[in-house]
Amino acid sequence: MIATYKKHILEFKQASGTSRGILKTKETWFIILEENGNKGIGECGILRGLSIDDRPDYEDQLKYTCDNINKGLGILYQENEAFPSIQIGLEIAFKSLVSKDEFDIFPSDFSKGNSSIPINGLIWMGTEVFMKQQIKDKIEAGFSCIKMKIGAIDFDTELNLLKSIRKEFNQEDIELRVDANGAFAPNTALEKLKQLSEFNLHSIEQPIKKGQIQEMARLCEKTPLPIALDEELIGVFGVTKQRDLLQTIKPQYIILKPSFIGGFKGSNQWIDLAKEQKIGWWITSALESNIGLNAITQYTFTKQVNIPQGLGTGSLYTNNISSPLEIKKGHITYNTKVNWDFKF
C-alpha cells in the first residue's frame, strides 16, 4: 500500500465571523491510499486555533503516518491519539479504499439517495443587517432549525435579533439554537442565560470557555436553558477522563465534531458515555471540505438521528470539491445523479 498526502486551502465565499475572529480561508489535508489498483481518500479536517492537533509538527506527523501506512489502521490510529484529525482522515481513507465507490463510506439509504438528514441553518456573526438577512434567507429556504453564533457583537443587539425572530415565529415554527463559542465570562454567564431563555431556545453551546470545569458544572446545574458542551470535549483523551468530565459537569447535551474527537471511533465512545448518563447529543461538521463532510454525514445517518444535525457547511466555499451533497428544505441529501469532481 502507498499513502500520500496533500494540502488544500478552502476559501470562504464571504468572511465568516465567530467569537474567535473572522475566517477567510481554512486549511485541510487529504490522505490518498493506493493498493492493487484501488484508491481511497480521507480528509484530515484540522481547524487552526481550535483543533487540539494545531501543532508545529502537524505535517511531520502526517508524513510519518503516510510513510508507515503499512502498519495498518489499528496501530496508526493509536499512534495518532494526539492528532484526532489524522485519525479520522485514516478512518475515511481506509473505508474509501475497500468500498466499491470511493465516496460510499457508510452504504445506506442516505448514500443511495433515498433518505435525508435534518440539519440546522447556520447564522454567522456580523452586523445586525447581515445577520437579519441570513435569518430571512434560512427561513425562506425551508429550515425549521436555526443556529445563531453569538458573543461577538453587542449582547443587546443579539437579544433583539432573537426577539425579532420570535415575534414572527414561535418555537413550534422555528427551533432556535445559539452558540457562544465560550464568549461569556463565568460571573455574568448565568444572567445572560436567563435573558436568552425568554426566547424559548432549544439550547446554548459552550457559554463559557473550555477548561473551567467547576464553573461549567455550576452553570449546567442552575441554567434555565439546556447547555451543550462543544469545545469542552476537545483534547479529553481516554474513556475514564471522558466519563469523569460528563459526570462532573452533567451537561444537558454534548456536540460531537468527529474531526476534533478521534473520528468515528472517538464519536462512538462519547455517544456510549452520553447514553450511559442520559445526556442528549448531536453531530456537527467542523468546516471540512465535502470529502470529510460526506463521510461524517454518512456516518451520522447510521446513528438513526431524528433531531437537526450541524452538517450544512459544504456550501461555504468557492473552491470546495464538487459532490452529490445537496441541501433542500432544511435537509442534507445525496443526489446520486451528480458526480464527484476529485482528481486523485
**CA-to-CA distance for 204 and 249, rounded, in angstroms?**
15
> Looking at the structure, do residues 30 and 161 belong to the same domain, yes or no?
no
pLDDT band at 19; cut points 50, 70, 90: low
pLDDT band at 123; cut points 50, 70, 90: confident
CB 243 within 8 A of CB 219: no
**CA-to-CA distance for 298 and 333, rounded, in angstroms?**
10
Name 22's bridge partners.
17
> Looking at the structure, do residues 156 and 80 belong to the same domain, yes or no?
no
| CATH code of residue 32 | 3.30.390.10
pLDDT band at 315; cut points 50, 70, 90: confident
Sheet holding 117-118, edge to edge: 117-118, 331-334, 325-328
pLDDT, one tens digit per residue, over 153-188 is: 789 999 998 998 898 888 988 999 999 989 999 999
CB 77 within 8 A of CB 22: no
In a domain, 205, yes or no: yes
Of 98, 132, 149, which residue constitutes the final position of a domain?
Answer: 98
In a domain, 81, yes or no: yes
Q: What is the pLDDT of residue 316?
A: 87
> Looking at the structure, do residues 90 and 157 belong to the same domain, yes or no?
no
In a domain, 343, yes or no: no
- Catalytic machinery residues: 149, 257
Q: What is the pLDDT of residue 130?
A: 85
Calculate the average pLDDT of the chain.
Answer: 94
The total of structural domains in the chain comes to: 2
Average pLDDT, stretch 103-118? 97
In a domain, 342, yes or no: no
CB 61 within 8 A of CB 77: no
In a domain, 106, yes or no: no
Q: Residue 21 above 70 pLDDT?
A: no
| CATH code of residue 160 | 3.20.20.120
CB 266 within 8 A of CB 279: no
Average pLDDT, stretch 225-235? 97
In a domain, 112, yes or no: no
pLDDT, one tens digit per residue, over 52-103 is: 999 999 999 999 999 999 999 999 999 999 999 999 999 999 999 999 999 9
Angle at 309 between CA 307 and CA 315, to 5 degrees: 140
Percent of the chain's residues with pLDDT above 90? 82
pLDDT, one tens digit per residue, over 283-294 is: 999 999 999 999
Domain that holds residue 59: 2-98
> 3-class secondary structure for 79-138?
HCCCCHHHHHHHHHHHHHHHCCCCCCCCCCCCCCCCCCEEECEEECECCHHHHHHHHHHH
> Looking at the structure, do residues 131 and 35 belong to the same domain, yes or no?
no
Kindly give the pairing relationship between strand 121-123 and strand 145-149: parallel
Give the residue with greater pLDDT, 204 vs 131: 204
Q: What is the pLDDT of residue 143?
A: 94
> Looking at the structure, do residues 159 and 88 belong to the same domain, yes or no?
no
Side-chain-side CA neighbours of residue 324 (13 Å): 21
For helices 155-168 and 128-140, what crossing angle results, to 10°?
30
Average pLDDT, stretch 253-280? 98
> Looking at the structure, do residues 299 and 244 belong to the same domain, yes or no?
yes
pLDDT band at 126; cut points 50, 70, 90: confident
Average pLDDT, stretch 195-211? 97
Q: Residue 109 above 70 pLDDT?
A: yes
Average pLDDT, stretch 112-122? 96
Residues in contact with 296: Cβ distance below 8 Å, sequence separation at least 6, in sequence order:
258, 259, 283, 285, 288, 311
CB 179 within 8 A of CB 203: no
